[in-house]
Amino acid sequence: MRSVVALLAVVAWLTLAHGISPKELRDVLCSIDVDESNAALDLVRVARVAQAPRILCFVNTISPHHATKAQTIKDTWGKRCDKLVFLSNATDVALGAVALVAPSDHDHLWQKHKASIAYIWEHFRHEYDWFYKADDDAYVILENLRAYLRSPEIVMQQDVEPLQLGHRFRVSRDLMEYYVQDKAILREYVHRWRYWWLFNSGGPGYAMNKLYMQRAVESFPEPHCFSDEYSDMVPDDVAISFCMAFAGASPTNTRDLHGRERWHANNPRT
């Protein structure tokens, strides 16, 4: 009651003593002090924009391609990676190529791929969020990749699920039986997943998060990950998918809402 009386007294004083009209009085009373006007805004907390993911790109190559294919990647899309590493059969300081202790011929791609992932994980696992594997004939539009990795559907999973993002294919039944020479392991796979073997094509490359890389390195010694004895002629992209199925990781559907592919494994039509 006292506050009401006090308010009426102020109104009367402003009206009579200063000749302020009722309209002007309303504007004065409804005005807020400059400092107080920020009080509501100070209560608002805007979430930070997700930090751009740190991407390490590692490219498999061989010494005859250092000055051609590998150098072209370094001069083009490779510059937009946060870190670019070439993994080869020979060290090349100028290019940034590291020699791996693994066969470099086409019949032992899986052995080289295991060595590549193990090397990258050992040396760079704490510095980057995503690891992009590519061959020296791939082209990656990093701006599109970053935008996709920052999308809610990926951000919500990247710290809790092992993710490998790329263009999915399916291995036919006859190829499964050809690739997996250890038939006991094949029977175990078929018992769990029937003849359903999905893999991400190595052609355009694929992105792997930290959880995927960690599980891959931990799984490589396991018998279902194609030991050197059974890895001849097994494509690296097919092998890692088979291996990681036992680790609870399968290729993710990366198509957009309209069913369009984000990765392209085949050459564009001309």
State pTM to two decimals. 0.79
Reduced to 3 states (helix: H, G, I; strand: E, B; else coil), residue 102 is coil
Structural domain tally of the chain?
A: 2
Query: What was the pLDDT predicted at 104?
Result: 80
Which amino acid is located at 6 in the chain?
A: A
- 49 within domain boundaries: no
Q: What is the pLDDT of residues 70-117, one digit of tens each?
A: 999 999 999 999 999 999 999 999 999 999 988 888 778 899 999 999
Reduced to 3 states (helix: H, G, I; strand: E, B; else coil), residue 23 is helix
Do 107 and 209 share a domain, yes or no? yes
- 270 within domain boundaries: no
Average pLDDT over residues 129-141: 97
Query: What was the pLDDT predicted at 52?
Result: 79
Do 62 and 25 share a domain, yes or no? no
Do 19 and 93 share a domain, yes or no? no
Do 234 and 157 share a domain, yes or no? yes
Do 127 and 15 share a domain, yes or no? no
Q: What is the pLDDT of residues 34-66, one digit of tens each?
A: 555 566 556 666 545 457 799 999 999 999 999
- 92 within domain boundaries: yes
Do 146 and 195 share a domain, yes or no? yes
Distances (CA, A) of 262 to 55, 82, 251, 258: 17, 21, 14, 11
Which of 64-68, 134-138, 179-183 is least confident? 179-183
Domain residue limits at 29: 1-42
Position 258 pLDDT exceeds 80: yes
More confident position, 218 or 24: 218
Do 25 and 66 share a domain, yes or no? no
Question: Contact at 8 Å (CB) between 116 and 194?
Answer: no
CATH number of the domain within which 90 lies: 3.90.550.50
Which of 108-112, 185-189, 264-268 is least confident? 264-268
Do 187 and 166 share a domain, yes or no? yes
Query: What was the pLDDT predicted at 233?
Result: 76
Average pLDDT over residues 149-173: 95
- 217 within domain boundaries: yes
Query: What percent of the chain shows pLDDT beyond 70?
Result: 80
- 8 within domain boundaries: yes
Do 170 and 68 share a domain, yes or no? yes
Do 78 and 27 share a domain, yes or no? no
Do 85 and 17 share a domain, yes or no? no
Do 18 and 82 share a domain, yes or no? no
Q: Which two tokens stand for residue 193?
A: 């997943």
54-58, 98-102, 253-257, 266-270: range with highest mean pLDDT: 54-58
Helices (H), 125-182: 142-149, 152-155, 173-179
